Structures are given as C-alpha cells and as structure tokens.
Amino acid sequence: MLTLNLHDYKGLFTAYTELRVQENRSVNITFVKGNNTLNLRSSTGGISARVCRNGSWGFASHPGISEENVKTVIRAATDNALFLDSKEQKEKDPLPAVPASSENDFSTSRPRLSQKDLVEFIRELDDHIASSYPQLAGRTLSLRCLDMEKRLLTSDGSYSHSMIPRSFIYIQLSVIKNGSPVELFDVYGGLGQFEDQFSAPGDLFEEVARQYHHLIKKSEGVFADAGLKTCVLDADLAGILAHEAIGHTVEADIVMSGSVAGDKIGREVASPLITMIDFANSYQGETCPVPVYVDDEGTAAKDAVLIKEGVLKSFLHNKESANHYRVAPAGNARAYAYSDEPLIRMRNTVILPGTSTLEAMIASVDDGYYLIRPGNGQADSTSEFMFGIVLGYEIKKGKIGRAIKDTTISGVAFDVLKTVSMVSGEMSWMSGGMCGKKQPIPVGMGGPAIKCQLNVGGR
C-alpha cells in the first residue's frame, strides 16, 4: 500500500511540513471458554500532513492513498495552519532541524502463517488449558498482532521508512472461590511478527502452568493491609514504575504545564542507586521492544538519560519543546495512526540494574509485600502515580507469605525513588500494553527488582 514516492510532493511544501503515509495492520483472534468469539483482520491506513506556520499548526489526513489526496491533505493542513496563524500570530522561532534518514523493517523472514494456522494455534493452547486445569471457571485467550508501517518525509530533509510489528497472546484465567470469581491475567510476546515470537503452543505451557499456580494461590489470598509499606517490586514491575512515576513527569509538555519536575534539572530526585534512561532503539546491543530510529517529526532518535545516579538530567522532547528549552530533540515525537499528529511519548523507559539479588531483597523485609504483576497505571501532574497490582504476596520476616487480592499501589514519584534501598542485577522488559495520552501508543518499559516504600490500597 505504501507505493507513493513522497519526494515527488516536496514542491508542494510552503512551510515546515511533515508528510506521512502509514498503515496499521492488525489481527485479533479471541477464544472465550473455548468459543471463537472474535476472528478479525483489519487494516487502517492513509496519508497525513502537518504544517507549522510561526508556531501555529495545521493537520489533515485522508484514508485514500493517491496523488490527488496527497495534494488535498497538504493543502488542507496548510490552510489550517494559516487559519490559526492569522488569528494567533505567535511569531515563534523556526523549529530545530535534525535531519535523518533510515530504513528499518522488522518483517519476519519466515513463511507467514495463515489465519487458519493462527486460529489453530490459539485453539490448541486453549484445549491444553481446558484439559490441564479443569478447575478453571473461565478462560480468555486473545492473540493480538499489530504491524505499524510508516513512510515520512519532512521539509527539513528527513526521510524514513519503518515497519515495526508486535505480537502478543493475552491469557486470563479465572476460578470461582466462595461463589465469587478470582482472575489472573498475563501477557506473552513482544517485538516482531507472530512467526518470530511464537513457534509452538507447547512453548507457552510452562508459563501458563506458572500463571495457574499463582491464580490458585491468589484465590486463597487476603486483602492487603492498607497503608505505607515496604515493598519489593519484581523486575516485571520496575518498568511500569519507571514509566508512570518518572517517565510521564518528565515529558516536556507535562513539564511546561507545571509538572513538579520543572525546576529539578540537576537536582537529586532519587536514590543514587537509580539511573533511568529512555532508550531509542537498543540496549546493550539488543533491540528494544519498541525501537524508534527516526521519530514522526523526522528527528534522529537518541537515548535520553533522564536520571543519572539519582540526579535529574533531562526531559523528553518534541521539536517545539526542545526549542522552548533550547536543547536538541532526541526523537520522542510519535503518532499512533495515520490520522494522528505526533505527541511527546516515551519509547523504552528503564531503570538500570544494580547489584543486589531478589532473594536478598525479600529476606531483608520484615513485614511488607512482594509485588509481581502490574495492571493499568496512571500518573499525575503532582507526580503522584498509581498502578494496579494483579499478583503479589505478603513478606513476613523475610519469607514469602500468603498471596494478596488485587490492589493498587501509589506514591509521589520523587519521594518513592528516594526510598529505594536495593536494586537487583536482573533486567526484565514489558511491552504488552499501550500508553494512553490523547492517542494510544506502544511503549517498552523495563528494569530490575526494586525495594522501596509505597502506599498500598487495601482494607
């Protein structure tokens, strides 16, 4: 579908312009208790243009990819920018240009599976779960694949083509305990098309067995005791702490509206054990879950060091905010759909590993919680963040105790990070969710296990 040569239309640019052709292709297959309730393939694509005149922006998009529609969206975006400029007359400085060129295609080189193959894969996994765990009251398996393919041309000299796929299998298992449902959800998969992520249903059996074991423990679980508690966050949770607690707080658009991070550059905001980086595309030579090489404003993507040994170093920028703060943008402007404008977004936000072991961290807690799997999360302008916990255990006298029911934890980001007393040496990535901010966007997050103080919701 991405057949137009965008360079042919550069002559139509009359101001700062981004011209993007994009297609999002998705597969969604769902089985609810053995019933194939959803069997969907979809594709959403088109052309968009965004134009800036003296600080006022215009945007237009059209689903039909044709020469005529390219002209239409450039004209409409330009007219929109002119309309606002005529009213607002902001006379802002030109945007910084960081020209870049890249070609990154993560399409699989293996033979593609048909829809029938994919349905069979999920059905086989579902059959295994149904026969292995007859005590389950409910089970939902959902395969979701998303290929995002983009071509971008900007008036300041950038051109890029990317095809970034992701493939996940989401599994929710539930049992009835004392007449009431108890469920546990987990997600498997990551960067790449289905064939590069999954080879056989049997590869997931061990993971599912672990999920079921935790579910049974959870069904016998207790409410957490509400209040400020010492918690060991599993490595699978550190990423969401990085994302919700700090990542959103240092997005420059949030900072400009008054985030508490605004005046803290160069100041100590966390324990010296904490170093946090928003990686552009690779970490220690490995590709990150959501690699960005050139962002949707055409900026070459670089790693952004947010906190180094406890000291706040930088914010996340698009071209406009980078201009405001007189720094170079690092490629954090990203759009979800062809009809979306780029926003300041995280990419692969991590807390770097330390030197402790998870075992030693748990053993060091007299009365607290070991929290393993997150649910959804949210950050606030005050830097107070929260995220749901769908799997956790008590720690009593240095040993794992009873499982706890679903709960939510919260804290004030910089206060919590100052309480970090141990950081493990491992590193775990998560990328199954979407970050929401006007548009959804895939993000990666990761980190080690962390010991800190948090507010725990409970009874």
Q: Which stretch binds other proteins (CB under 8 A): 175-183, 305-313, 328-336, 444-452?
A: 175-183
**Binding of residue 101 to other proteins (CB under 8 A):** no
Q: Build a one-symbol-per-residue string for 286-325: x at contacts with other proteins by CB under 8 A, - elsewhere.
A: ----------------------------------------
Cα(419)–Cα(415) distance, rounded to whole angstroms? 7
Smallest distance, other proteins to C-beta of residue 456, A: 8
Size of the site for other proteins (CB under 8 A): 91
Site for other proteins in 127-156 (CB under 8 A): 137-140
Q: Which two tokens stand for residue 90?
A: 């902001």
Q: Which stretch binds other proteins (CB under 8 A): 10-18, 161-169, 347-355, 377-385?
A: 377-385
The residue from 3, 68, 87, 366 that contacts other proteins (CB under 8 A) is 87
- Rounded Cα–Cα distance for residues 69 and 62 (Å): 7
For residues 388-427, which are near other proteins according to CB under 8 A? 388-390, 405-408, 410-412
Q: Give the whole-angstrom CA distance, residue 129 versus residue 294.
A: 42
Q: Per rule CB under 8 A, is residue 80 in the interface with other proteins? A: yes
- Does residue 257 bind other proteins (CB under 8 A)? yes
**Residue tagged 């800036």 (tokens):** 52
Q: Which is nearer to other proteins, 137 or 360 (CB)?
A: 137
236 near other proteins, judged by CB under 8 A = no
Query: Given the structure tokens 């962390």, which residue do they identify?
Result: 450
Does 36 interact with other proteins (rule: CB under 8 A)? yes
90 binds other proteins (CB under 8 A): yes
* Pairwise CA distance, residues 84 & 15, whole Å: 14
Is residue 227 part of the contact set for other proteins (CB under 8 A)?
A: yes
Of residues 259, 318, 332, 348, which one binds other proteins by CB under 8 A? Answer: 259
For other proteins, the closer of residues 60 and 350 by Cβ is: 60
Q: Do residues 339 and 61 touch, judged by C-beta distance below 8 A?
A: yes
| CA dist., res. 393 & res. 397, Å (int) | 13
Query: Which CB, 103 or 117, lies closer to other proteins?
Result: 117
Signed CA dihedral, 31, 36, 37, 41: sign only = positive
- Structure tokens given for 28: 């969604």
The residue among 64 and 272 lying less far from other proteins, judged by its C-beta, is 64
Q: Which stretch binds other proteins (CB under 8 A): 29-37, 143-151, 200-208, 418-426?
A: 29-37
Distances (CA, A) of 22 to 50, 206, 311, 320: 14, 38, 39, 23
**Residues 40/27, Cβ–Cβ less than 8 Å:** yes
- In this structure, what are the phi and psi dihedrals at residue 384, rounded to the nearest 5 degrees? -75, 125
For other proteins, the binding residue among 74, 81, 413, 420 (CB under 8 A) is 81
Tell me: does residue 241 bind other proteins (CB under 8 A).
no
Q: Can you name the residues that pair with 229 across neighbouring β-strands?
A: 454
* Complex with other proteins: residue 105 or 263, whichever CB lies closer: 263
Residue 326 interacts with other proteins (CB under 8 A): yes or no = no
Q: Choose one: 276-284, 285-293, 311-319, 380-388; the region binding other proteins (CB under 8 A).
A: 380-388
248 part of the interface to other proteins, by CB under 8 A: no
Q: Give the interface segment with other proteins, choosing from 61-69, 191-199, 203-211, 294-302 (CB under 8 A).
A: 61-69
Q: Is 123 in the site for other proteins (CB under 8 A)?
A: yes
Place of tokens 């977004």: 345
222 binds other proteins (CB under 8 A): no
Min dist CB 48 to other proteins, Å, is: 9
